[in-house]
Amino acid sequence: MARPIRLCWFLVLVLAALGAVGLVAPPPAEAQKKILNIAAKEPDTLDPHSSTLGQSQAISRFMFRGLTRFAIKDGKVTTAEVEPDLAESWSLSPEGTIWTLKLRKGVQFHKGYGELTAEDVKFSFERQINKAPGTRYGVNLDVIKSIEVVNPHTLQIALKAFDPIFLLRMVGYQNGYIISKKAVEKLGDQFKWNPVGTGPFYFERHSPREKIVLKAFDKFYGGRPQVDEVHWFDVPEDATKLIGLEKGTFDLLYPEAVTADFADQVQKMGAVIDRRGPGGQERFYINMTKPPFDDIRVRKAFMHAIDRKAIKETMYPGGLARVATSCLPDGYFGHIPMEFPPYNPELAKKLLAEAGHPNGFTIKNYFISKSFFYPKVLTLAQEQLRKVGIVVELQVVEHATFHENIRKNLDPFVLYGGTRITDADPWLSLFFDSKEIPDPATGNKGTNFAHYRGIDDLLTTGRVERDVKKRAAIYHEAQKRIQKDLVCLPISDVPGQWARNPKRVSTPFDPEYGEFSLHYSYNYPELLKVLN
């Protein structure tokens, strides 16, 4: 037995020696730098016009800015109002189709690419409108007819028709980001990993599958950020992220999913969760053309069978989310809270019997994504539906397969989530406009999974209405119709959530909904401060 013991000692010594390598302190200069360490997934590109992934959009906000930004009101960032950012001021022609925008002077691009001019703005929008390979958001700029450069700091944007949310489209988010024309022309395809913007941090380097390093931009027009460097680590596992937060390896975490367990662990280690509305909404669309859901009584029975509060509490206990009150989420222009059929399984059974299904029915081959919240929410709903006799036979598939199959109308009801620019028009248009009904025969891969045609007229009217109050009333009416026709059941409004070590990083905004934002949780990354 002496040999195994000797072997054990040898292994311990080797481990100790290897461990000792890690005890070497970093050089002084490195130690004094204020480095913000973020654990998230790796972005798929750093071209802000190209990616739909949350992590890509979150990192974009560190490097890019738009003509407008979400305003700070009473110490909170709101998505309901915008204020000037790269644009200094603007005016709208009397007929409502020509915007004249004056740019802030002296704004510099990173890496010596010179001053921001109207040419850069024109280029940033036109590359998307002309669908340059890889760009994804041209559709959000379809309202633009032409862009004319008046002088280096003034441009006129002519619209095809009045657009009530034009200034919201100009927000630094997705299609709204302004990039350097010179850099794109010089770098070509390499721009996606050599981005050049006007944001508070510039891109330094990318080690694939390891990290991205950003550095503070001295010439940022809002002043140099306090943070010297941002190290964006590719950490796919939430468990590893939590260990890193506790150990001090990371200061900010962008988790895949914030569960009760995750929140508990964050709290136990003295960290906080920054909750940012409106976040994403999880909801069911019911295909009103697919039997037996073409009968409104069955749709009503479905809604009575679903205990939304129980699902929300199981998935996101306490403050982790809110029970959703409309299929147009809270935080979007036009939202009003609505009532939905309350949880009542007995009534659900009665309605099913009335509709000719006294013993319920079975849905075979119901496809659900294995990723994100989908399998958990659907499993909870499956159990609730089973109690009223609706048996759902699940097939858990890859996320890509799920997306493919729901666009082939293979699921009679669809669980879906998402975030959009915070106005009723783009949101309702995407999910309830009849043009978006998916149809494998025509190749339409839209997202109107309810196959609803009931608010087309309101959407058309809303798009040309210039009176804010009247616009709001139009979308209130749209929500009432959706509610009456029982085609959509919202479950949870889940805020964007990041975990933060408050002893290491501070933000001026309250952790509890101190900011409203889109895919990124920090509208103003330049205001983040690294503490000792």
Supply the minimum distance, in Å, between the C-beta of residue 181 and another protein: 20
- Contacts of another protein in 65-84 (CB under 8 A): none
Q: Could you say which of 36, 38, 40, 45 contacts another protein (CB under 8 A)?
A: 45
Give the binding range for another protein (CB under 8 A) out of 28-36, 232-240, 298-306, 503-511: 232-240
Q: Which is nearer to another protein, 14 or 531 (CB)?
A: 14
Supply the minimum distance, in Å, between the C-beta of residue 56 and another protein: 10
Are the C-beta atoms of 485 and 231 separated by less than 8 Å? Answer: no
Among positive and negative, which fits the CA dihedral 465, 469, 475, 478?
A: negative
Q: Could you say which of 94, 133, 318, 337 contacts another protein (CB under 8 A)?
A: 133
Q: Which is nearer to another protein, 397 or 488 (CB)?
A: 397
User: Crossing angle, helix 456-464 and helix 424-432, to 10 degrees?
Assistant: 150
User: Using the 8-state DSSP alphabet, how is residue 66 labeled?
Assistant: B
- Backbone angles phi and psi of 352, in degrees to 5: -65, -40
User: Using the 8-state DSSP alphabet, how is residue 188 labeled?
Assistant: G
Q: Which residues 6+ apart lie within 8 Å of 433 measured at CB?
A: 448, 455, 456, 459
- Contacts of another protein in 86-105 (CB under 8 A): none
Q: Which is nearer to another protein, 83 or 246 (CB)?
A: 246
Q: Could you say which of 108, 325, 401, 409 contacts another protein (CB under 8 A)?
A: 401
Give dist(CA 231, CA 426) in Å, integer.
34
Pick from 334, 339, 340: which is nearest to 474 by CA? Answer: 334
Q: Could you say which of 322, 445, 453, 476 contacts another protein (CB under 8 A)?
A: 445
Other CB atoms within 10 Å distance of the CB of residue 16: 9
Give the binding range for another protein (CB under 8 A) out of 205-213, 289-297, 325-333, 464-472: 205-213
Q: Could you say which of 81, 246, 294, 456 contacts another protein (CB under 8 A)?
A: 246
Pick from 167, 171, 186: which is nearest to 77 by CA? Answer: 171
Q: Which is nearer to another protein, 68 or 281 (CB)?
A: 281
How far from 65 is each of 200, 260, 284, 371, CA to CA, in Å?
9, 34, 34, 31
Q: Which helix (H) or strand (E) holds 232?
A: strand 229-234
Q: Could you say which of 397, 421, 450, 474 contacts another protein (CB under 8 A)?
A: 397
Q: Could you say which of 265, 447, 448, 497 contacts another protein (CB under 8 A)?
A: 447
Supply the minimum distance, in Å, between the C-beta of residue 431 and another protein: 9
- Backbone angles phi and psi of 6, in degrees to 5: -60, -40
Supply the minimum distance, in Å, between the C-beta of residue 237 and another protein: 6
**Can you name the residues that pair with 413 across neighbouring β-strands?**
286
User: Using the 8-state DSSP alphabet, how is residue 96 labeled?
Assistant: S
Phi/psi-derived region of residue 332, left when phi > 0, alpha when psi is between -120 and 50, beta in every other case:
beta
Supply the minimum distance, in Å, between the C-beta of residue 505 and another protein: 18
Q: Which is nearer to another protein, 18 or 75 (CB)?
A: 18
Other CB atoms within 10 Å distance of the CB of residue 17: 9
Answer yes or no whether residue 441 interacts with another protein by CB under 8 A.
no
Supply the minimum distance, in Å, between the C-beta of residue 172 and another protein: 18
- Contacts of another protein in 448-487 (CB under 8 A): none
Supply the minimum distance, in Å, between the C-beta of residue 346 and another protein: 36
Q: Which is nearer to another protein, 152 or 426 (CB)?
A: 426
Answer yes or no whether residue 207 interacts with another protein by CB under 8 A.
yes
Q: Which residues 6+ apart lie within 8 Å of 522 measured at CB?
A: 58, 61, 274, 498, 507, 515, 528
Residue that is written with structure tokens 């147009």 in the block? 328
Give the binding range for another protein (CB under 8 A) out of 81-89, 237-245, 303-311, 341-349: 237-245
Q: Which is nearer to another protein, 91 or 207 (CB)?
A: 207
Q: Could you say which of 236, 291, 358, 508 contacts another protein (CB under 8 A)?
A: 236
Q: Could you say which of 27, 28, 208, 337 contacts another protein (CB under 8 A)?
A: 208
Q: Which is nearer to another protein, 139 or 158 (CB)?
A: 139
Q: Could you say which of 96, 134, 502, 511 contacts another protein (CB under 8 A)?
A: 134
Answer yes or no whether residue 210 interacts with another protein by CB under 8 A.
yes
Answer yes or no whether residue 426 interacts with another protein by CB under 8 A.
no
Draw the binding track, 161-190, toward another protein (x: CB under 8 A; -: no contact). ----------------------------x-
DSSP 430-499: HHH-GGG--BTTTTB--S-TT---TTHHHHHHHHH---HHHHHHHHHHHHHHHHHHT-EEEEEEEEEEEE
| Size of the residue set binding another protein (CB under 8 A) | 57
Residue that is written with structure tokens 């082939």 in the block? 408
Q: Which is nearer to another protein, 136 or 529 (CB)?
A: 136
Residue that is written with structure tokens 């489209």 in the block? 169
Answer yes or no whether residue 364 interacts with another protein by CB under 8 A.
no
Give dist(CA 313, CA 321) in Å, integer.
8
Q: Which is nearer to another protein, 311 or 406 (CB)?
A: 406
How far from 142 is each of 98, 163, 393, CA to CA, in Å?
15, 11, 41
What residue ranges bind another protein (CB under 8 A)?
Answer: 4, 7, 15-16, 18-23, 44-45, 52, 131, 133-134, 136-139, 189, 192-193, 207-211, 233-237, 239-240, 243-244, 246-247, 249, 397-401, 403-405, 407, 416, 418, 430, 443-447
